[in-house]
Amino acid sequence: MSAETMLAFDANCHLFIPGCGFESPGLHSFVFEPLFTVGGFEFNKPMLLALLSTVVVVWFFWAAFGRAKVVPGKLQMIGEAGYDFVRRGLVYDALGKKEGDKYVPFMVSLFFFVWIMNIWSIVPVAAFPVTSIIAFPLGLALIVYILWMSLTFKKHGFVGALKNLSGYDKSLGWVLPLIMVLELLQHLLIRPFTHAVRLFANMFAGHMLILMFTIASWYLLNGIGIVYASASFVMTIVMTAFELFIQAVQAYVFVLLACNYVQGALAENH
Amino acid sequence: MTLVNMAAEVPENPLFPPIPELVIGLVAFFIVFGILAKKLLPNINNVLDERRRQIEGRMEEAEALQAEAQQVLADYRAQLADARHEAARLRQEAQEQGATLIAEMRAEGQRQREEIIAAGHAQIAADRKAAAQSLRQDVGKLATDLAGKLVGESLEDHARQSRTIDRFLDELEAGATKAEAGR
């Protein structure tokens, strides 16, 4: 693979060079050539980064908790802080300690996996948020959806679950059918969709912005264009810092919503 | 394939999930979930529980120690009080014993004094009796000698002599007793 195919634009093209326009990033920036192909299966960069996310999360927690001690070392302390952040800050908060304990491992895995997948966005060389490919957040949202639905039907039975999902409430009177349709639609279709798309779109947009300013910084770097290039470069740095924040927030929101859905499934009636 | 060509490709709808990525994503997540849920999080939970237990255990230990210390203090105080009582009792006893001893010694002294006095009295009586006996004999002999000298050898008969003397002395004694009683 040449340097040309690594970069998503023509590196020799600059401002003021005739016949050379700015190639803005677009949907094509999210399509990757396969790194290799095994029997028709095309293995590409986002897949590699997804598997690397697994390696990073497992490696970190293995190092931190593999031989956990009562008197913790530095790494274990950091691991415990992260673990407690998700456990108390998200799971116990939404579900309570008694109900929530069962879901702690799932939510902890979910949070750190999503976070690391997001973080690849600002890691040099990787420089791509895995979650900006819809398949990854959608897969995770589906797992949450299946968990949520199975809990709802297990807890309330078939009719109870339908009531739970449709927000059945007699006191609403004649608007009840309308509400039920809307609620069912929301719970069964919109929620899982937005759950996945919220994460996807945030990462997608963030990556677009960083890409835009990065490419522009390079493109503008010719003659007097250095002034524009500097401004663009500053924006690249700012956006990178901002993304670092957004990546954590989106991972947090993703897990928060997952907790809320599970809580809704376990709630008596709402 | 050049980049210009790539850009010219019509990319798929970004909201349409490619199946291979979906599968890889799920596999990647379940590996994380499996290892964390089966091994690492139970690990850390055990350690956190153990830590909590140890902290609670130390608190219990401290409470137990404090209780023991208080128990020991109470015991010491009780023993001290007992010792004071004992000392007081011993003093009391000693005083009582001393008083008894003094009383006994006083009684003993009294008894010995009386014994000595009694013995003195008896001695005096015995001496007096012996003196009286000896006097009677001497007086009898003197009187006999005197009377013999006066009346010759007629009074040789001893028996008579004795009787006479005794009679005389008895009369003398009776006279003395009578004079004493009359006094």
Q: State the ipTM, two decimals.
A: 0.89
Q: How far is CA A38 from the centre of its chain?
A: 28
Select the residue of A8, A54, A72 nearest B28 (Cβ to Cβ). A54
In angstroms, the separation between the Cα of residue B56 and the nearest Cα of chain A is 14
Identify all chain A residues contacting B55, using CB atoms and an 8 Å cutoff.
none
In angstroms, the separation between the Cα of residue A75 and the nearest Cα of chain B is 13
Q: pLDDT tens-digit profile of A108-162?
A: 999 999 999 999 999 988 889 999 999 999 999 999 999 999 999 999 999 888 8
Among all chains, which residue has been given the structure tokens 């970069």? Answer: A7
Three-class SS of residue A113?
A: helix
Three-class SS of residue A82?
A: helix
**What per-residue confidence (pLDDT) applies to B79?**
95
How many Cβ pairs within 8 Å bridge chains A and B? 132
Q: pLDDT tens-digit profile of A56-78?
A: 999 999 999 988 888 888 999 99
Nearest to A258 by CA among A18, A71, A95: A95
* CA–CA distance, A141 with B154 (Å, rounded to integer): 179
Q: Say if strands A36-38 and A41-43 run parallel, antiparallel, or are unpaired.
A: antiparallel
Query: Would you write out chain B's pLDDT as a tens digit for each of its 183 residues?
Result: 344 444 445 567 888 888 888 999 999 999 999 999 999 999 999 999 999 999 999 999 999 999 999 999 999 999 999 999 999 999 999 999 999 999 999 999 999 999 999 999 999 999 999 988 888 888 888 887 777 777 765 555 666 777 777 888 888 888 878 877 776
Identify all chain B residues contacting A61, using CB atoms and an 8 Å cutoff.
35-36, 40
Select the residue of B18, B33, B50 nearest A135 (Cβ to Cβ). B18
Please report how the helices B41-151 and A104-119 are oriented relative to each other, as an axis angle in degrees rounded to 10. Answer: 130
* CA–CA distance, A217 with A14 (Å, rounded to integer): 10
**pLDDT class for A261, splitting at 50, 70, 90?**
very high
Closest-CA residue of B relative to A45 is: B21
Are A109 and B20 inside 8 Å of each other by CB? no
Q: pLDDT tens-digit profile of A226-256?
A: 999 999 999 999 999 999 999 999 999 999 9
| Domain residue extents for chain A | 3-266
Nearest to B35 by CA among A166, A106, A181, A67: A106
Select the residue of B7, B36, B51 nearest A61 (Cβ to Cβ). B36
Are A47 and B16 inside 8 Å of each other by CB? no
**What per-residue confidence (pLDDT) applies to A221?**
87
CA count, 13 A, side-chain hemisphere, B101: 6
Q: What is the rounded average pLDDT of the residues A254-264?
A: 94
CA count, 13 A, side-chain hemisphere, A227: 1
Select the residue of B7, B40, B50 nearest A28 (Cβ to Cβ). B7
Are B21 and A8 inside 8 Å of each other by CB? no
Q: What is the rounded average pLDDT of the residues A212-224?
A: 89
Identify all chain B residues contacting A199, using CB atoms and an 8 Å cutoff.
none
Identify all chain A residues contacting B18, using CB atoms and an 8 Å cutoff.
133, 135
In angstroms, the separation between the Cα of residue A200 and the nearest Cα of chain B is 9
**What per-residue confidence (pLDDT) applies to A267?**
84
pTM over cut 0.90: no
Closest-CA residue of B relative to A63 is: B40
Closest-CA residue of B relative to A196 is: B15
Are A105 and B37 inside 8 Å of each other by CB? yes
Q: What is the rounded average pLDDT of the residues A181-192?
A: 92
Q: pLDDT tens-digit profile of A2-56?
A: 444 445 566 778 888 877 778 888 888 888 888 888 887 888 899 999 999 999 9
Closest-CA residue of A relative to B54 is: A70
In angstroms, the separation between the Cα of residue A42 and the nearest Cα of chain B is 8
